[in-house]
A and B are shown apart, each in its own frame.
Chain A
Amino acid sequence: MDFKDGGIMDRRREIMVGLVVVLGIAVGVVGTIWLQDGWGRDRVTIRAASTGVGQLVEGASVKFRGVAVGRVESVAVVPSGEAVLIDMSVRPDLIIPTDAAVLIAPESMFGDWQAEIIRRDDYDTHPYLDYPGEGVLPGVALPDFSRLTATADEIAQNLTTISERFEVAFTEETAQNLGRAIDNLGEVSDRFSEIINQQAERFDALAEGVDASTRELGAAARAARVSFERVDAIVADGQVQKLFADAGAGVENLRNLTETMEASLGDLQTAARQADATFARLDALLVAVQDEDGSLGRLLADPTLAEGALDAVAQMRDLLRDIQQNPRRYLSFSIF
C-alpha cells in the first residue's frame, strides 16, 4: 500500500514537474541572453566620447566597414556635462585600427542610429571630441543631414570618374557620367531648397551666423553656371548640348536655393574665396581649352590640362565636404 514514498506515479509526476520547470527557466534565461546580445560570443567593451549622440540609444548597432560587429551598451553624459560616453560591446576578435574614431549617424531613414568605427584619417574633417582617458575613442555625431551629404559625396565621386575619363577620352560614356553627376547636383540642390523652405523660420532666427559654405554654395552656383556655359560654347555635339541643358536646370535650382537663402539670411554678397578659387580654376581650364584650339581634341592631347581638371574636381570635393559639415549645424531633419 501507498504509505511509502516514491510510487511510480509520484516519480513520473516529479519528473514532469522537473522537466517543465527546467525547460521554462532555460527558455527564459537562454532567450534573454540571445535577444540581448546575440549568441554565445564573447564581447569586449570599447568606449568612445563625443559631444552629442543624436538619437543613438542603448542597443543600437555598432558597425565596422559597414558590417554589424556589436551593440551599444550604454550612453551616458559625464557629470561635468562636457561629453557623452558611449560604451559598445563588440566581437573580441575585431582588430580596431590604432587611429580609430567613432562616427555616430543614422542607420536608416527610420530614426535608428548606429555607431560606426572608422579610421579618423578617412574622415578627418569632422569635429571629433578627444576625451582624456585610456582607450577612449574620439567620436562625433553627424546630424541627420548626413543623408544629403552622402549624395554630395557621390557627386564628388562621379566628378572624379569624369576627370579620369578626361584623361583617356571624352566618350559618350563620359558624357553620361557627367550628366549623372549634374543630375545628382540638381537633386542635391532640390533637396537643399526643400529643406531650406521647411526650415525657413529657423533660418530667420539664425540670420546672424550663416555658415560660409552656404555662401560658397551660392558662389559655386554662379561660377558653375559660367563654367558650364563655357563648356557649352566649346562642345557643339548635340548630346553634350542636352547634357548641359540638364546641368543648367540643376544649376538653376541651386540658384533658387541660394536666393531662398539670401531672402531669409540677408547679406550674402560676399562669396567664399574657396569656392571662387575652385571654380575659377575650372573656368580657367576651360578658357584655356577654348583659346588653344576651340576643340576638345586639344584637351585630350594635353595631360596637364587633364591634371588641372582633376585638381579642380578634388577641390570641388573639398567644398562638398564642407557643405556636409556646416549646414547640419543649423538644420535637423528626421523622419521620426
Chain B
Amino acid sequence: MLDFVVRPFASAGRGTVRILGSVGRAWILFAGTAGALRHPGIWGPQLVPQLARIGVASVPIALFIATFTGIVMSLQASYTLTGTIPLYFVGALVGKTMMLELGPVLTGLTLAGRVGANISAELGTMRVTEQVDALETLAYDPLAYLVVPRVIAGIVMFPIVVLLAMTVGIVSGWLTALQLLDMSSPEFVKGLRLLFEPWDVWFAVIKSVSFGAIVTGVGCFYGLQTERGAEGVGRSATQTVVIASMIILCLDAFWAATLL
C-alpha cells in the first residue's frame, strides 16, 4: 500500500547492512590473519612460493608498463616544456612523477589486476571445490595457510617491484630524452637531481607496501567469500580488481595528503 514510500528506506537499510557486513567481514579477516601470524609453521613454507608468484612473476609486466610510461612521460614533458622552461626540466618531471605517482600507482593498479584477480580466482576455486574446507579438516588454519603468506608476499614484494619499475621507468625516460629529444645525459641528470629528495623514495615504498597489503588482502577477502561455482569465481575476481583499484586510488590520495 505504502510500498513506494517504504521501499527507498528499505533499500537504504539493506545497503547499509550490506556495507557494514562487508566491513565487518573484512575486519574479521584482518583480525584472523593477524592472529594466524602465530603459526609460522603453517605459513612459513608457503612464503617463498608466494614471494615468487606475487613478486618475481610480476616483475616483467611492471617493467613493461614502466618502460612505456617513462617514454611517454619524457616525450610529453618535452612537449609541455617549450619556450622559456629549459629542457632539463624533463628530467625533473620524469623522475618526480615516476617516483611519487606513476611508479607506485600504475604498478599497484596493474598488480591489482594481475595479482589480486589471480589470488581471488585461486582462493575462490579452492572455496567452491571445498579445498578450503579440506584444509580445515586437515587442521590447517586457512588464514594461516592461504592468506598470511600472500599478504606478506604482497607487502614485501610490491615495494621491490615498484623500485625496479621506477628505476626502469626513469631510465627509459632518460634514453628517450637522449634519443628523441636531443638532450644530453648531464642535462637529464641535472633535472633529475634538481628536485630529488630521498623522501620521494620512502614515499613510494610506503605507498607500495600499503598497495601490496590491499591488493593481496582484497584478493583473499573476495576469494574466500566466493559462492556458487565458476560464476562466483569470476565475480570475485572482478570485484577484487574493482575494489582494490578503488582503494589504491583512495589510499594514494590519503598518503599524498598525509605524507607530503
Taking a contact as CB atoms closer than 8 A, the residue among B48, B156, B201 that contacts A31 in the complex is B201
Q: For chain B, residues 134 to 160, give those with C-beta under 8 angstroms from any C-beta of chain A.
A: 156-157, 159-160
Give, as a whole number of angstroms, the nearest-CB distance from B200 to chain A: 9
Q: In the complex, are the beta carbons of B86 and A10 less than 8 A apart? A: no
Question: Cβ of B49 and Cβ of A21 under 8 Å apart?
Answer: no
Q: Is the CB of A24 within 8 A of B163?
A: yes
- Do A110 and B85 touch (CB < 8 A)? yes
When the two chains form their complex, are residues A17 and B55 in contact, meaning their CB atoms are under 8 A apart?
A: yes
Is B164 within 8 A of A35, CB to CB?
no
Q: How far is the CA of A110 from the CA of B166 in the complex (A)?
A: 28
Nearest CB on B from A66, distance (A):
15
Tell me, in angstroms, the Cα distance from A108 to B161 when the chains sit together. Answer: 38
Q: Does B28 contact A (CB under 8 A)?
A: no
Count chain A residues whose beta carbon lies closer than 8 angstroms to a beta carbon of B.
Answer: 21
Residues of A with C-beta under 8 A to B51: 17, 21
Complexed CA–CA distance, A111 and B156 (Å): 41
- Which of B166, B193, B195 is the most central at the interface, judged by chain A CB atoms within 10 Å of its CB? B193
A80 sits at the interface (CB 8 A):
no
Say whether, besides A31-B167, A35-B196, A36-B198, A24 and B48 are in contact (CB < 8 Å). Answer: no
Residue in A10, A17, A112 with the greatest tally of chain B CB atoms within 10 Å: A17
Tell me which residues across on chain A come within 8 A of B52, comparing CB atoms: 13, 16-17
- Chain A minimum-CB-distance residue to B88: A110
Consensus secondary structure, chain B interface: helix
> Which residue of chain B is the closest to A112 with respect to CB atoms?
B194
Report whether over half of chain A's contact residues are helix, strand or loop; otherwise say mixed: helix
Measured between alpha carbons, how far is A27 from B55 in the docked complex, in Å?
16
Of residues 12 through 61 on chain A, the ones whose CB sits less than 8 Å from some CB of chain B are: 13-14, 16-17, 20-21, 23-25, 27-28, 31-32, 35-36, 59
A37 → chain B, closest Cβ, in Å?
9
* Alpha-carbon distance A189/B24, docked complex (angstroms): 75
In-complex Cβ contact of B56 among A16, A28, A35, A110 (8 A): A16
Within 8 A of B (CB), among A81-139: 108, 110, 112
Closest to A68 in B: B190
* Interface residue B173 (Cβ < 8 Å from any Cβ of A): no
On whether the beta carbons of A59 and B194 are closer than 8 Å, the reply is yes
- The answer to whether A25 and B160 have CB atoms under 8 Å apart is yes
Give the complex CA separation of A28 and B157 in angstroms: 13
A335→B95 CA distance, assembly (Å): 24
B45's closest neighbor in chain A, by CB? Answer: A5
- CB of B164 within 8 A of CB of A23, answer yes
A104 vs chain B, min Cβ distance (A): 17
Q: B190's closest neighbor in chain A, by CB?
A: A61
- Chain B residues within CB distance 8 Å of chain A: 48-49, 51-52, 55-56, 59, 84-86, 95, 156-157, 159-161, 163-164, 166-167, 192-198, 201, 205
Nearest 5 pairs between A and B by C-beta?
A24-B160, A28-B163, A17-B51, A35-B196, A13-B52
Given A27-B163, A59-B194; 5 other pairs, CB 8 A cutoff: A16-B52, A24-B163, A31-B166, A32-B201, A36-B198
- Can you give 25 A-B contacts (C-beta < 8 A)? A10-B48, A13-B48, A13-B49, A16-B56, A17-B55, A17-B56, A20-B55, A21-B51, A21-B160, A23-B164, A25-B160, A25-B163, A27-B163, A28-B201, A31-B166, A32-B198, A32-B201, A35-B95, A35-B196, A36-B197, A36-B198, A59-B194, A59-B195, A110-B85, A112-B194
